[in-house]
Amino acid sequence: MRLLSSTLALALAGCAAHPGSNMQSSLVVPPTEARGGSTKPLGSIDLGPEVHLAGYQLRARAVTIEPGGYLAAHTHQGRPTMEYVAQGTVIEVRNGIATEHKAGTMVPATNGVTHWWENHGAVPVVLVPVDVVRP
């Protein structure tokens, strides 16, 4: 019985320590507007002459989320992206599940993803999304 209790305690401790396993959104419903977020264009490439995708661009932006801020919920239907966490620790709420991402993490989002980002930390979060868009 003591072995079973010790094993159970270790298993529960391991679950609590797993990144993202106990993250929660501070919002009750998905936000329809951003608060404390700003976006700066970094550049874009017209994909028509490059890879025969007329009407599409590859673009990069810097998105900053101030402490306590969040971005509006949005979908990536027809707009695939790779989002690099350049600074801070951010909570992503993806399809209802909150996950923590630290600086240095690359987060893909494709068709079927609906998500938003929240900054629960004390420093600004900087994301660098690079996506394919139809401007």
Name 69's Cβ contacts closer than 8 Å, sequence gap at least 6. 34, 35, 36, 37, 118, 119
Architecture in CATH for domain 2-133: Sandwich (2.60)
pLDDT score for 20:
46
Q: Which residues pair with 133 in a beta bridge?
A: 57
Q: 70-84: per-residue pLDDT in tens?
A: 999 999 999 999 999
Specify the pTM.
0.80
φ, ψ of residue 37 to 5 degrees: the values are -115, 145
Q: For 26-60, write each residue's pLDDT tens digit.
A: 787 999 999 999 999 999 999 999 999 999 999 99
